[in-house]
Amino acid sequence: MKLLVCIKHVPDTETKVAVHADGKRLDPQAVSKWVASPYDEYALEQALLFRDDAGEGEVVAVCAGPQACQSTLRTALATGADRATLIQDERFESAESLTRAKVLAAVAKREQPDMVLLGKYGVGTDEGTTGPMLAELLDWPHVAAISSLTLEGTGFTAARGVEGAVEIHAGTLPALFTCEKGLNSPRLPSLRGIMQSKKKPIETLTLGDLGLDDGLLDEAKLDWDGFELPAERESGRLIEGDPESASTELVRLLHQNEKVL
């Protein structure tokens, strides 16, 4: 079985970010640490579990973005992926979901996997639509934000939470799934895995290698009007005095200034 895991290279969710000078995207130079989108870690772990349980198969990690994405793919290889592919182009930093889906569809058609796995959305500007768009382009069955997934031969059973209930979906491979937090417990790269990853290949491709028009990344269907950071919070205020006078002053401030009472 071949399993294709799509990984998005994103800023660490705990890192500080800055807006680029063009005002339409984050400044990549201001990001101190880049990682795989957290939900994609569940997708990778599920692929590794299926391969390990079967005792055979291949897990291929794919990422579309600048050369810096190699670090994220190298981590995926250290975690257990067998090989990786980078579709390298700086313009992916501002690519919307449909463009990413078209490129990933070209990779999937090239690899011919039995299953494609992604996180339920990529941290940033994904909106959770890349996975479903990719499945539609491949004309494959798909289930989004799965909380469990089991295989029996070429058949699958997947569950997803909806509005206080659980949907159960059954179908046959090939199929695509986007993964929800809690699907599994992602493993961390081991020292042995890190050493072995140095010998594993990362194939670098261009849009032309996939038979795609280079102008695809210039034909965005979505244009960001502007980015801005949230306004800084005002510093807290210490109300001094005895408990009775302090509580009276607090109530007054909440009523007159904050309008919450």
| Residue 200 pLDDT level (bands cut at 50, 70, 90) | very high
Which is it for strands 34-36 and 9-11: parallel, antiparallel or unpaired? antiparallel
Query: What's the pLDDT at 126?
Result: 63
Question: Are β-strands 115-119 and 83-88 bridged in parallel, bridged antiparallel, or unpaired?
Answer: unpaired
**Contact at 8 Å (CB) between 217 and 91?**
yes
Model confidence at 122, pLDDT cuts 50, 70, 90, reads confident
Per-residue pLDDT, 168: 97
pTM of the predicted protein model: 0.85
Tell me the pLDDT of the chain averaged across its residues.
Answer: 91
How far from 244 is each of 241, 247, 258, CA to CA, in Å?
A: 8, 5, 20
DSSP string, 99-122: HHHHHHHHHHHHH--SEEEEESS-
User: Which among 103, 116, 105 has a CA at the least distance from the CA of 69?
Assistant: 103
Radius of gyration of the chain measured on its C-alpha atoms: 22
Confidence of residue 26 (pLDDT cuts 50, 70, 90): confident
Angle at 258 between CA 252 and CA 261, to 5 degrees: 60
Domains of the chain: 2-218 (3.40.50.620), 236-261 (no CATH)
Q: In this model, does residue 261 exceed pLDDT 70? A: no
Each residue of 136-187: pLDDT tens digit? Answer: 999 999 999 999 999 999 999 999 999 889 999 999 999 999 999 999 999 9
Percent of the chain with pLDDT over 70: 98
pLDDT band at 221 (very low <50, low <70, confident <90, very high): confident
Interval 28-58: pLDDT, tens: 777 878 899 999 999 999 999 999 999 999 9
